[in-house]
Structure 1
Amino acid sequence: MTESKILSREETKKQVEQWQSEGMKIVFTNGCFDIVHLGHIDYLEKAQALGDKLVLGLNTDASVQRLKGETRPVVNEYARARMMSAMSFIDAVTLFDEETPKELIETLCPNILVKGNDYSVENIVGADFVMAHGGEVKTISLVKGYSTSAIIEKIKKS
């Protein structure tokens, strides 16, 4: 079952350490992934291709609400985690409730930290930590015209 890829922070840390001990490069990215669309799929496939294993830090419902407002998320955290874990190019999913994934990144110590190119490396949370520990920080080109907020607005107007 792909649900087995949904791990606690401690389980994720142990799994990352095991993969790294086997010489694998661990890619980490994070986000809300509220209404999954082509932009998300394209981004996550590209992120996974940068290393051997892709770990996804997924915002909890409470953290999505703090970031995006009272009406979000549209899809609850369990459903979002299940959808993400069902994707073959994602190897582990772990939830985080903090305002940023900084603590999670510092716990996992990935080899490669990835965000979309709507961020600059200087503005990526955890970039300093990852680079200080010998890792890399990369940005990925986003598919134009796809955003969850834009999809929600289109639904509201129809």
Structure 2
Amino acid sequence: MTNTQSKIFKDVTAALPTIQQWQTAGDTIVFTNGCFDILHLGHVDYLEKARHLGNKLILGLNTDASVSNLKGPERPLQDEMSRARVMASLLFVDMVILFAEDTPYELIAAVKPDILVKGDDYAIENIVGHDLVQNNGGTVKTITLVKGYSTTNIVEKIKQQI
């Protein structure tokens, strides 16, 4: 198993001992989530900024079935383990946890992050799990997105050139 693969968990139960170890050590845990079908500058900028909010960044990654439910039958373009390996290879991502639900609500409830982060295209009250994090004394933040970057836009551009 590579170092990258050791950062990937197929369910939260297997990840909890490591998370609890970080919490016991006093690390500030930041959580975000997404499909991350094609890694682009917007993702890298967002995740790097998210990681700087704490000591550990946990990324909830939608499974293939979850992506298809959210984005349609043509997605994802890359399978979940390929996406997980790419995300885990980023220096500022400390853990990747796959989740099969349409939202990460249950995952956030299990992780109990100190900080929940999404892009500034979300209002805080619309971020899934904001209530859980705030009720546990944590904070919910948004990060300014790099304009013009989205996987959907990249896919559309490719389709237009075919």
Percent identity of equivalent pairs: 60
Is 1:4 the counterpart of 2:20? The answer is: no
- Are 1:66 and 2:77 matched, yes or no? no
Coordinate RMSD, CA, aligned: 0.6
Structure 1 runs (4+) deviating above 2 angstroms are: none
What is the Cα deviation at residue 139 of structure 1? Answer: 0.2
Supply the distance in 2 between the matched residues of 1:42 and 1:139 (Cα, whole angstroms): 13
Q: How does 1:109-148 map to 2 (within 5 A)?
A: 109-148=112-151
| SS, match of residue 93 in structure 1 | strand
Q: Which residue of structure 2 lines up, in the alignment, with residue 28 of structure 1?
A: 31
Residue 97 of structure 1 corresponds to which residue in structure 2?
100
Deviation at 1:118, TM superposition (A): 0.3
C-alpha distance in 2, partners of 1:96/1:25?
22
Q: CA deviation at 1:11?
A: 2.3
1:5 partner letter: K
CA drift at 1:126: 0.3
Unaligned segments of structure 1, at least 5 residues: none
Under a length normalisation based on structure 1, what TM-score does the superposition of the two structures give?
Answer: 0.98
Show the counterpart of 2:152. 149
Structure 2 SS opposite 1:55: strand
Residues 1:79 and 2:88 aligned together: no
Match of 1:14 among 13, 17, 37: 17
* CA displacement 1:108-131 (0-9 Å, x = unmatched): 101000000000100000000100
* 1:115 partner SS: strand
Aligned length: 158
CA distance in 1 between partners of 2:108 and 2:16 (Å):
10
